[in-house]
Amino acid sequence: MGMINIGKIRIEDPLILAPMAGTTTLAFRSICHEMGSSYQPTELVSARSIMYSGIDKSMCYLMIDREKEGLSCIQLFGSDPKDFEYAIGKICEDPRLKDVDIIDINMGCPVPKVVKTGAGSALMREPKLAEEIIKASVKVCDSYGKELTVKTRIGYEDEDKDNGKAEDFIKMLSQSGAKLIAVHGRTRNQMYHGQADIKALARMRKACDGIPFIANGDIKDFNSGRNMLEVTGADGLMIGRAAQGNPWIFEELAGVFENKEKEAAKVTFEDRKKMLLRELELTIRYKDENIAVREMRPSMMAYIKGMPGAASLKVKLCSALTYEEVKDLLWTT
Ligand SMILES: Cc1cc2nc3c(=O)[nH]c(=O)nc-3n(C[C@H](O)[C@H](O)[C@H](O)COP(=O)(O)O)c2cc1C
């Protein structure tokens, strides 16, 4: 059995849904939690935007519901310790968000819009600043009884993973007060191309000093999850794209820590259509129906992928605006 402590939070068999902008909405996070995900960070939210534009502007991304998603985790990005101090304080004081359990700091986002502000994976090139950010954030988290975690990559440049730079970075993070590190097995320069480097993740795992290490990248079924655990020695797994349109991945991985593959019921196209509607129904509880349907488009595409008639269904779903329209299309196309 896998058991980790994120500060005072104890988790058995940690399977974590990876944060994904546009996908990991409260509705999708709740569904993945029902399927066995231990916790699910929100997508990245700008600490600076909370500081300068107020918290309400980001509330649609920050929304949490401990009843539905179990532990709650908000992911922030930024490049100034002061922004993080302010944003974390603001979150912990807000009546809608104060029950948050974990604040996660993004040090891995490769998108130019984020990197050029010195945030996301750019922080891997500024270890001193990254350390200041962690220390400042941990201090605020401690004062509110929250845990601070970090998500990063195996380096910025491709050489970093082999020249010891990435290991030094991981070691620094683990010694700066963070309570868990999740690492995506690609460098920033790889973006999402190529294969996740599992051997590099194994080296990062060794560099991680005394806190749980979560491995991420290309886990798509029981065997790849098992291989990731065996090769890296990670304490837990984080699953991203394989969960899109397929929250059942968490059921499939349920026995991965004991190496006991459970006999999973085959997921039919009918099941996927029903799950799509369920996610839409949940999304509509939090948002205006038209907005919910539009925002769920990427998720809808993931659910219908591979179905007979998916190409024409995709086009029709993209012009649907109501729950009933989506439902009719799913059962008539
Ligand atoms: C559409 C999309 C959006 C993402 N958004 C975020 C994000 O907001 N924060 C973050 O830390 N990582 C983000 N990621 C990276 C994932 O969390 C994960 O590290 C990456 O997809 C590799 O894992 P996988 O192979 O299991 O998908 C995103 C990935 C995708 C595909």
How large is the average pLDDT for residues 43-58? Answer: 98
- pLDDT tens figures, 67-111: 999 999 999 999 999 999 999 999 999 999 999 999 999 999 999
Residue with CA closest to ligand 1 atom 29: 20
Q: What is the pLDDT of residue 262?
A: 85
Please tell me the predicted confidence (pLDDT) of residue 1.
72
Instruction: Quote the ligand 1 centre to 232 CA distance (angstroms).
Output: 20
Residues 176-229: tens digit of each pLDDT: 999 999 999 999 999 999 999 999 999 999 999 999 999 999 999 999 999 999
Give tens-digit pLDDT for 306-325: 999 999 999 999 999 999 99
Atom of ligand 1 nearest to the CA of 153: 19
Nearest CA to ligand 1 atom 12: 19
Say whether pLDDT at 258 is over 80.
Answer: yes
Question: To the nearest whole number, what is the mean pLDDT of the chain?
Answer: 97
Which protein residue's CA is at the shortest distance from atom 21 of ligand 1?
240
Atom of ligand 1 at shortest distance to CA of 43?
Answer: 8
- Tell me the torsion sign for CA atoms 68, 43, 214, 104: negative
Testing ligand 1's pocket by substitution, the residue of 15, 16, 17, 20 carrying the most ligand atoms inside 8 A of its CB is 20
Give the pLDDT score at 132. 98
d(CA 98, CA 308): 45
Residue of the CA atom closest to atom 26 of ligand 1: 240
Q: Whose CA is nearest to atom 30 of ligand 1?
A: 20
Residue 265: the pLDDT is 78
Q: How far away, in angstroms, is 19 Cα from ligand 1 center?
A: 6
Identity of the amino acid at 59: M
Domains of the chain: 3-252 (3.20.20.70), 269-332 (1.10.1200)
Per DSSP, helices labelled H in the chain are 26-35, 47-53, 59-62, 66-69, 81-93, 112-115, 127-144, 165-175, 198-207, 222-232, 249-252, 269-286, 289-295, 297-304, 310-317, 323-332
203 and 167 in contact (C-beta within 8 Å)? yes
Residues 235-253, mean pLDDT to the nearest whole number: 97
| Average pLDDT of span 245-257 | 97
> Residue 96 C-alpha to ligand 1 middle, in angstroms?
26
Catalytic annotation present for 60:
no
Note the residue count of the chain. Answer: 333
Q: Which residue has the tokens 């910025």?
A: 156
Residue nearest to atom 23 of ligand 1 (CA): 217
Q: Which residues are bridge partners to 105 per DSSP?
A: 76, 150
Residue nearest to atom 3 of ligand 1 (CA): 20
Q: How far is the CA of 241 from the centre of ligand 1 (A)?
A: 7
| CA of 157 relative to ligand 1 center, distance in Å | 18
> Which residues have CB under 6 Å of ligand 1?
18-23, 43-44, 75, 106, 108-109, 151, 184, 216-219, 239-242
Within a 10 A sphere around the Cβ of 92, how many other Cβ atoms?
Answer: 19
Supply the pLDDT for residue 263. Answer: 82
Q: What is the DSSP letter of 157?
A: S
- Say yes or no to pLDDT of 264 above 90: no
Query: Rounded to an integer, what distance in angstroms lies between the CA atom of residue 312 and that of residue 332?
Result: 12
Tokens linked to 296: 């769920």
C-alpha 20 to ligand 1 mean position (Å)? 5
Residue 59: pLDDT band by 50, 70, 90 thresholds?
A: very high
Candidate from 184, 227, 232, 299 with most ligand 1 atoms within 8 A of CB, to mutate: 184
Phi, then psi, of 262 in degrees rounded to 5: -85, 150
Q: What percent of the chain is modeled with pLDDT above 70?
A: 100
Is it the case that residue 257 has pLDDT exceeding 90?
A: yes
CA of 209 to the centre of ligand 1 (A): 24
pLDDT at position 67, please? 95
Whether the predicted pLDDT of 333 surpasses 80: no
Q: Which pLDDT score, from 0 to 100, does residue 2 have?
A: 84
Catalytic residue among 109, 141, 208, 318: 109
